[in-house]
Amino acid sequence: MDNLTEAQQLQQQQQQSLQIDCLNENTNSNSDNKNSKTQREQERGGGGEKDMGHIGGNSIHRSSSRPQLDLSGAAIQGNFEERDPTILLPNQSDDISHLALDIGGSLIKLVYFSRHEDRPVNDRIKRTIKERLGISNGSRRSYPILGGRLHFVKFETTNINECLDFISSKQLHCGGMDARLWHSGVSNENAVIKATGGGAFKYADLFKERLGVSIEKEDEMNCLVAGANFLLKAIRHEAFTHMEGHKAFVQIDHNDLFPYLLVNIGSGVSMIKVDGDGKFQRVSGTNVGGGTYWGLGRLLTKCKSFDELLELSQRGDNRTIDMLVGDIYGGTDYSKIGLSASTIASSFGKAISENKELEDYRPEDISLSLLRMISYNIGQISYLNALRFGLKRIFFGGFFIRGHAYTMDTISFAVQFWSKGAAQAMFLRHEGFLGALGAFMSYEKHGLDDLMVHQLVERFPMGAPYIGGNVHGPPLGDLNEKISWMEKFILMGTEITAPVPMSPPGTTGLGGFEVPSSKGDILRSDASKLNVGVLHLVPTLEVFPLLADPKTYEPNTIDLSDPGELEYWFTVLSGHLPDLVDKAVASEGGTDDAKRRGDAFARAFSAHLARLMEEPAAYGKLGLANLLELREECLREFHFFDAYRSIKQRENEASLAVLPDLLMEIDSMDEETRLLTLIEGVLAANIFDWGSRACVDLYHEGTIIEIYKMSRKKMQRPWRVDDFDAFNERVLGSGEKKPCQYKRALLFVDNSGADIVLGMLPLARELLRRGTEVVLVANSLPALNDVTAMELPEIVAEAAKHCDILRRAAEAGGLLVDAMINIQDGTKDSSSSLPLMVVENGCGSPCIDLRQVSSELADAAKDADLVILEGMGRSLHTNFNAKFTCDALKLAMVKNQRLAEKLINGNIYDCVCRFEPAC
């Protein structure tokens, strides 16, 4: 493949950088947004918003005092030590409201928006293919050019001046104005920000005095419900259960969400019966809540913060203070009424009979006893209200919980105990921000009504493994600061040691990190807490329409819940890390800058692995596909956008050089021999995989062509999974069975080089010859040596120089629009030729989750009747058990002994040819 020009490479890197949205919003913040005005005018010209309905008899008030906000496509973006996730808004214009608050009696919860830079427009090839697929530009919504993220920050209400300083330092009260305009002295008159909670009234004058803004007050219950409904509908792993330290994520069917009980535990507790969007009723509550715990805890233990009090409880033993059933009955159960000896009979009951003063009790024990008392009572009252209305689902939120394992276990136990297992306590990842998020949504044109779960992609930036400090604001401002931050850390087992202090007292430090308040110089992953990643909103993602049952579909084949399995794959990934770093650094010329970034990537990814080894559920439901995607995202975070670029180019050139001879050999065969040879060729060429240790070692034994020929010679049937005869009969027919005439085939391709050039392209050519439209489906972003949709047109163009079938099909499919190839009979009309097209799959991983594919692929699939999945990542690691509504062929050479044993009871280099007729 010819070298890309510098301009093309730059454009490619920019596109990749923008698509992944895992970089900091401040990167390239000075780039011009020349087309933003036109895009905004187009966006505002069409369609109105949907009404959220009536809440408690009143509809949400839509403020007209601020510019319109487009939250279409919301996605979670955590940064470094931030436990509460940031939500990305990729389709937001620059004129927006930046800020909403929930000001409670104990805590201020703040949601604010930051934007990111332009996205490049589609090229001519994409437009041509869309036209060939019958995709009308007017059939889909046209999104604004800018995007962004929602950030979540908290402050203690007693430190409201710190919150005001924070808002002022980030210009959040300036509406949608660019920071450069603010610094140049441009003011924003009559600025209004949304707020809910009692503090919206109490501190309104203070906000006006300090920031010059007016607070527009939103109803607290309205906001809580609106925030909860959005999260439960839009985020796949928002809700989870927590029993005896075990987290289990619950996928909520948004069509079966209502009714439910929402229990918001703030300073006090509100219990809300939610019957639908905008339909709710506050049915109960209690004044014994988070404020009670913090107030009594402060008096009894002298703790200086809520978090310090919670941390204290982790080291406590409540049996020294609480009176248990066993204390009353001589250490035995009271089995007649179902009470165990360890059941608390009276919280703080032992303090009555013991001749002790307050200072004689350990603060740790007091904190735990107090926590259990309040948590049990909230759980019991919540269940009684659920029973009252016949509700089986109870969601708990509010900053009293804070992801604290013991708190969640205690509430869950209470609900299970009193309901005898009939009801279930569930918790929310954004537990404390329901009100603030609801207030944010109350701006006009929020655009969240039609948001679907498949439009959200969760990723975990390099700081996700680290727990310890409080985060104020967005991630580090540029790549150099990211690298510097990573260089301060040394991984020791599951502990991350960092020099402290990281910043002078009273500042937010590097990237917004404060000095750890109570962990000294050790930032250790806390297995009791959930990490939340970056929620990217990608409105162009859709569910693959050919899945037989999307609700039961599970992409991951490998289950990492087995500790032994988890340890094995972590060892494999760790062992591959040095070679991956070498390739990444070499891909950028081995410069000192590349070496420094490579080292930072290795540190960051190692920290991810250490965190997940300690707590596999820390990032949500974990599968092998998730680990592989995490690795690719981590590479991109340190600006390694294509670590195998030079290797792929060399392998493409070597394979294209021998393609004419291979096609000549294939054309000399009869059709039955030819089809078998083509399938053998796909399996043999799939041996080239730089993600496999065994295959990397093969490169020391010969050139790519020599290895390919060796692999072809070893293609002996029967294969470990061998359905070729069934596929052959389907395609060619036999006896009375007529051949199947496929209308359109989707070929999910895998690696560059021999895999695509000598394996999948000849198979695509055969399908074209037999009257089938062919769509090559490739990665949107690079992953290992996988071929990308951006690279494929040039590869096809080079192959088309040697094959008239490929040339005519590529022309018909729009792939040769910009290609400079030598066409001897270029005057021929190719309008009647079947097309060969290329679409991107919407991901940048060796695996693929078919619940989230590009809209381009979803459109191409609607008329397809054959799916071919090739390679370990797409047909073994994921989708080996996937069922489709059309015929499916899964092809792969197994390059991992463990996978061979677990999946097909075979050995390394065994072949899989699995044919499954339409369901």
Burial class (CB in 10 A: 0-12, 13-18, 19+), 209: exposed
The Cα-based distances of 28 to 25, 32, 33, 183, 477 in angstroms read 8, 9, 11, 18, 10
413: which residues sit within 8 A by CB, 6+ positions away? 243, 376, 379
Ordered by where they begin, the domains of the chain are: 51-228+431-456 (3.30.420.40), 239-428+500-528 (3.30.420.40), 646-916 (3.40.50.10880)
Using CA atoms, how far apart are residues 262 and 279, in angstroms rounded to an integer? 12
Using CA atoms, how far apart are residues 610 and 595, in angstroms rounded to an integer? 23
pLDDT of residue 891: 97
374: which residues sit within 8 A by CB, 6+ positions away? 288, 289, 292, 293, 400
Using CA atoms, how far apart are residues 188 and 216, in angstroms rounded to an integer? 16
382: which residues sit within 8 A by CB, 6+ positions away? 261, 263, 271, 394, 396, 411, 415, 425
Point out the residues of the chain with pLDDT beneath 70.
1-98, 113-150, 175-190, 336-338, 444-452, 455-459, 463-464, 466-477, 489-537, 539, 688-705, 707, 817-832
pLDDT of residue 620: 73
Q: Is 497 left (phi over 0), alpha (psi -120 to 50) or beta?
A: beta
CB 72 within 8 A of CB 91: yes
CB 659 within 8 A of CB 757: yes
DSSP letters for 226-242:
HHHHHHHHH-TTSEEEE
Instruction: Kindly provide the b/e burial profile for residues 645-673, where b requires at least 16 CB atoms within 10 angstroms of the residue's own CB.
Output: bebbbebbebbbebbeebbeebeeeeeee
pLDDT of residue 481: 75
Q: Count Cα neighbours of 468 within 13 Å in the Cβ-side half-sphere.
A: 25
pLDDT of residue 92: 46
748: which residues sit within 8 A by CB, 6+ positions away? 777, 841, 848, 867, 868, 869, 870, 871, 874, 875
CB 747 within 8 A of CB 774: yes
Residue type, 914: R
Cβ neighbour number for residue 568 with a 10 Å cutoff:
16
Is cis: bond before 461, omega within 30 of 0?
A: no
- The DSSP secondary-structure symbol of 91 reads T
CB 430 within 8 A of CB 437: yes
CB 154 within 8 A of CB 432: yes
Burial class (CB in 10 A: 0-12, 13-18, 19+), 630: buried
Helix (H) or strand (E) holding 911: strand 911-916
Q: How far is CA 444 from the centre of its chain?
A: 27
The helix/strand/coil state of 752 is: coil
Residue type, 542: E
Backbone angles phi, psi at 179, to 5 degrees: -60, -30
Token match 């906001």: residue?
A: 223
Using CA atoms, how far apart are residues 572 and 21, in angstroms rounded to an integer? 28
Residue type, 151: H
CB 65 within 8 A of CB 96: no
Helix (H) or strand (E) holding 275: strand 269-276
Pick the closest to residue 750 from 663, 675, 627, 845 (CA basis). Answer: 845
Token match 């509010």: residue?
A: 398
